[in-house]
Copies of this chain bind each other. A is one copy, B any other.
Amino acid sequence: MTSAPASVVAVGTDHLADAVEAQAVPVVRVDWRPPMPGTEGDLACVAADPLRKDANERALAAVLDVQAMLVDVAPAGELLGLAPGDFLHAGPPIAWADASGPLRGALMGAAALEGVVDDPEAAVVLFESGSGVSLDPCHHHRAVGPMAGVVSASMWMYVLEDPATGRRTFCSLNEGLGKVLRYGAYAPEVLERLRWMSAVLGPLLRDAVRATGPVDVTGILTQMLQMGDEAHNRNRAGTLMLLRDLAPAMVASGHEPAKVADALRFIGGNDHFFLNLAMPACKLMLDAARDIEGSTMVVAMSRNGTDFGIQLAGTGDQWFTGPAQVADGLYLGDYGPDDANPDIGDSAITETAGIGGFAMATAPAIVRFVGGSVPDALATTRRMHEITLGENPRWTIPVLDFQGTATGIDVTRVCRTGILPQINTGMAGKVAGVGQVGAGLVTPPAEVFPAALSELAHRTRARPR
Of the listed stretches A119-127, A252-260, A405-413, name the one at the interface; the rest are far from the partner chain: A252-260
A244 touches B249 (CB 8 A): no
Task: Verify if A177 is at the interface (C-beta below 8 Å from B).
Answer: no
Task: Confirm or deny: A199 has a beta carbon within 8 angstroms of a beta carbon on chain B.
Answer: no
**Complex CA–CA separation, A19 to B19 (angstroms):** 5
Q: Which residues of A contact B (CB under 8 A)?
A: 15-16, 18-20, 22-24, 223, 226-229, 236-237, 240-241, 243-245, 247-252, 257-258, 260-262, 264-265, 268, 364-365, 373-375, 398-399, 401-402
> Quick check: B265 and A261 within 8 Å, CB to CB?
no
The residue on B at minimum CB distance from A24 is B15
- Are the C-beta atoms of B399 and A364 separated by less than 8 Å? yes
Given contacts A23-B19, A373-B401, A401-B373, contact A265 B248 (CB under 8 A): yes
Smallest beta-carbon distance A14→chain B, Å: 10
**Across-interface contacts of A22 in B (CB, < 8 A):** 15, 18-19, 22
A15 touching B19 in the complex, CB below 8 Å, given contacts A240-B241, A398-B365, A401-B373: no
Contact A251 B228 (CB under 8 A): no
CB < 8 Å neighbour of A401 from B229, B249, B374: B374
Chain B residues near A374 (CB-CB < 8 A): 398-399, 401-402
* Nearest neighbor of A398 in chain B, beta-carbon distance: B364
A24-B94 Cα distance, complex, nearest whole Å? 49
Cα A251 to Cα B258 with chains together (Å):
8
In the complex, which residues of chain B have a beta carbon less than 8 angstroms from the beta carbon of A249?
261
Please list 9 pairs of residues, one from A and one from B, whose beta carbons are closer than 8 Å in the complex, sorted by A's number.
Answer: A18-B22, A19-B19, A19-B20, A19-B23, A223-B236, A226-B228, A240-B240, A248-B268, A251-B260
**A268 to B, closest residue via Cβ:** B244
Q: Which of B18, B229, B247, B364 contacts A268 (CB 8 A)?
A: B247
Shortest distance between the CB of A60 and any CB in chain B (Å):
25
Cα of A374 to Cα of B398 in the assembled complex, Å? 7
The answer, among B20, B244, B398, for a CB contact under 8 Å with A228, is: B398
What is the bound-complex CA distance between A402 and B261, given in angstroms? 35
Say how far A218's CB is from chain B's closest CB, in angstroms: 17
Q: Write out the residue numbers on chain B whose beta carbons fall within 8 Å of the beta carbon of A247.
A: 243, 247, 261, 264, 268
> B244 near A252 (CB under 8 angstroms)?
no
A262: nearest residue on chain B (CB-CB)? B248
A18 to B24, CA, bound (A): 12
A200 to chain B, nearest CB (A): 14
Alpha-carbon gap, A260 to B24, bound state (A): 54
The 9 closest A-B pairs by CB, nearest first: A364-B398, A240-B240, A244-B268, A248-B261, A19-B19, A226-B365, A252-B261, A251-B261, A227-B228
Residues in B with CB closer than 8 Å to A243 are 240, 243-244, 247
State in angstroms the CA–CA spacing of A324 and B236 once bound together: 39
Residue numbers in B under 8 Å from A258 (CB-CB): 252
Residues of B within 8 A of A24 (CB): 15
- Complex Cα distance, B399 from A375, in Å, reads 9
On whether the beta carbons of A244 and B240 are closer than 8 Å, the reply is: yes
A268 surroundings in chain B (CB, below 8 A): 244-245, 247-248
Q: Distance (Å) between the CB of A252 and the closest chain B CB?
A: 4
- Bound CA–CA A388/B265 (angstroms): 40
Chain B residues whose C-beta falls within 8 Å of the C-beta of A262 in the assembled complex: 248
Q: CB < 8 Å: which of B18, B250, B252, B399 contacts A399? A: B399
- Report the Cα distance A245→B269, complex, angstroms: 9
State A251–B262 Cα separation when bound (angstroms).
10
Q: What is the CA–CA distance of A374 and B228 in the complex, to the nearest angstrom?
A: 15
Complex Cα distance, B401 from A375, in Å, reads 8
Q: How far is the CA of A128 from the CA of B186 in the complex (A)?
A: 74
Whether the pair B261, A257 counts as a contact (CB closer than 8 A) is no
Instruction: Report the Cα distance A228→B238, complex, angstroms.
Output: 13
Say how far A371's CB is from chain B's closest CB, in angstroms: 15
A23: contacting residue among B16, B250, B261, B365, CB under 8 A? B16
Shortest beta-carbon distance from A19 to chain B in Å: 4
